[in-house]
Amino acid sequence: MTVTLMWEARAAEGRGEELLRWARAQELRPRPPRRETFRAPGDRVLVLTWWDAPYEAELPELPEPEAALVSRAVHRWRFEAVGEEPDTD
Q: Is residue 15 domain-resident? A: yes
Handedness of CA 25, 28, 33, 39 (dihedral sign): negative
Tell me how many domains the chain contains.
1
Q: Is residue 89 domain-resident? A: no
pTM across the whole model: 0.90
Q: Is residue 36 domain-resident? A: yes
Tens-digit pLDDT profile for residues 31-89: 999 999 999 999 999 999 999 999 999 999 999 999 999 999 999 999 998 877 777 77
Q: Is residue 86 domain-resident? A: no
Asked if the model's pLDDT at residue 1 lies above 90, the reply is: no
Q: What is the 3-state secondary structure (H, E, C) of the chain?
A: CEEEEEEEEEECCCCHHHHHHHHHHCCCCCCCCEEEEEEECCCEEEEEEEEECCCCCCCCCCCCCCHHHECCCCEEEEEECCCCCCCCC
Which CATH number do you get for residue 69? 3.30.70
> In which domain, by residue range, is 8 found?
2-54+64-80
Q: Is residue 20 domain-resident? A: yes
| Comparison of pLDDT for 1 and 48, the residue scoring more | 48
Provide the residue type at 66 as one letter.
E
- Which pLDDT value is given to residue 50? 97
